[in-house]
Structure 1
Amino acid sequence: MKLESHLPRQSPWLYITPLLNAILLLLVYYLFSSGFVIQSGITVEKPRSSSRLTGFDRAHIITIAPGNEVPMYFDGRRVNFEELTQRLVDGRAGERRVIIHHDRQAPSGRVVEVINLAQELGFEAALSTTPTPAPLVP
């Protein structure tokens, strides 16, 4: 026996509105979340690695660029080694992690100095790398 409804038919907009709302929320989510990708703003050619590290999404970013004078940047602002030390000392109350973006041509001695400085001041330091492409398996 087929049951019939005695209610008047509703407008199709009643059923389309929640669908449009969900699509709009997904669109807004993807637009805003794309800005959360960590970028330092300074172009460096990072070394390749297959390892991944999580938990550094709000870390300070130290960028070591190549060049004769080895320019360094702390959260996008150019600093020298003394200013970097002072900024790390001032930032010890906040986030205790740093990501070091270093160019492959940057002197390894400077990279090690920055890592040692961060660790002496109680920061966790991570080196930023470019992921290696996945091997093609036939």
Structure 2
Amino acid sequence: MKLESHLPKQSPWLYITPLLNAILLLLVYFLFSSGFVVQSGITVEMPRSSSRLTGFDRAHIVTIAGGESAAMYFDGKLVTWDELRATLEKLRSGERRILLHADRFAPTGKFTEVSSLAMEMGYEVALSTTPTQPATAQR
């Protein structure tokens, strides 16, 4: 005995709409999540290193620009030495990690002073570097 359906045929859009909805949701997710990449907004040429340190993805970012003036930025905002000290003091109860984005041509003394200040206040300090390029195989 052959069974037949007596229901009317449905439009193919009924089956395509949930698929399009899922694709658009994924597209929106990837567009918004790309903004979560940690960047300070100040362009610096960081030193190269092959090592990698994890656990500093939510750290505060202190950027030291190159040149004689060596401007300092805390989380993208230009700060003076006294403002940096006050900000670090105020944020002691929160995230206690500092990621230093120091330009290759920034004065070493400024880098040392900032890292010493942060460590005196109980912060963990890490230097941000640019990964070295792996050697390419020769043919």
Query: TM-score range with shorter-chain normalisation?
Result: 0.7 to 0.9
Give, in angstroms, the shift of residue 85 of structure 1: 0.9
Q: What RMSD in Å do the two structures reach over aligned CA positions?
A: 2.0
Residues 4 and 100 (structure 1), Cα distance of their counterparts in 2 relative to 1, 3 Å cut? farther
Code of the aligned partner of 2:78: R
Residue in 1 that maps onto 2:15: 15
Please, which runs of 5 or more residues in structure 1 have no aligned partner? none
Residue 93 of structure 1 aligns to a residue whose secondary structure is coil
Kindly state the Cα deviation for residue 7 of structure 1 after the two structures are TM-superposed.
4.1
| Equivalent residue number for residue 111 of structure 1 | 111
The AA in structure 2 aligned to 1:56 is: F
- Please give the TM-score of this superposition, normalised by the length of structure 1: 0.87
Structure 2 residue runs without a partner (length 5+): none
Partner residue of 2:120? 120
Q: How does 1:1-138 map to 2 (within 5 A)?
A: 5-137=5-137
How far did residue 6 of structure 1 move? 4.9
Q: Tell me: CA distance 1:42–1:10, structure 2 relative to 1, closer, same or farther (3 Å).
A: same
TM norm structure 2: 0.87
Paired residue total:
138
4+ runs of 1 displaced by more than 6 Å? none
* CA apart distance, 1:134: 2.6
SS at match of 2:28: helix
CA distance in 2, matches of 1:64, 1:84: 12
